[in-house]
Amino acid sequence: MRKIVAGFAASIDGYMEGPNGETDWILIDEKLDFDEYFRRFDTFFFGRKTYEKAVSMFSKPTKGITNYVFSNTLTEAAENFVLINRNVPEWVRAFRQQPGKDIALYGGANLLATFLNWQLVDEIVVSYIPVLLGAGKPMVDVLQQRVPLAFNSSRRYGNGTLVISYTVNGRNA
């Protein structure tokens, strides 16, 4: 079965964005190997807001990646994206059974919480950026219950960023 891996950057005090939606505080260490990380995936799942940012920033699709956007409000998606807006948990469960690489979830706090509530996330990878924001958008929106995590691995970078991987509910990473 394909695993769903939620990956995102967060401040040390747990925010994905500053109080005004800013992300200029996210530091990318030059030694962070994005190519190595992304070889693990052939599918990206986006929530609506993250999708809208992605569409405005990137004009070309990533080769070998299929992009899906989950939204209750969109009626169509941009070229190179597939819109999923009905029977989402059932669709995702069936999709995970298909052959392929793991799936990267880039949804933001709401999509992450929704997938966690549906017990569809297998791993969470957080890049903790060495900054305190004091306010902003939290990493996870409202959860229906606690989600126990098991430490998987960590790596510290020269700029102080700490990347930590956790398995969800003791699932195998």
Structure tokens at 32: 């962070």
Asked if 126 and 16 count as a contact pair (C-beta separation under 8 A), the reply is no
CA distances from 102 to 129, 144, 145, 156 (A): 25, 25, 25, 24
Structure tokens at 4: 């769903």
Given this model, what pLDDT does residue 119 score? 95
Handedness of CA 18, 24, 26, 27 (dihedral sign): negative
**How many other CB atoms are found less than 10 A from the CB of residue 77?**
19
Pick from 108, 102, 18: which is nearest to 71 by CA?
108
- One pLDDT digit (tens) per residue for the chain, 173 residues: 999 999 999 999 999 999 998 999 998 877 777 777 778 999 999 999 889 888 887 766 677 889 999 999 999 998 889 999 999 999 999 999 999 999 999 878 899 999 999 999 999 999 999 999 999 999 988 899 999 999 999 999 989 999 999 999 866 55
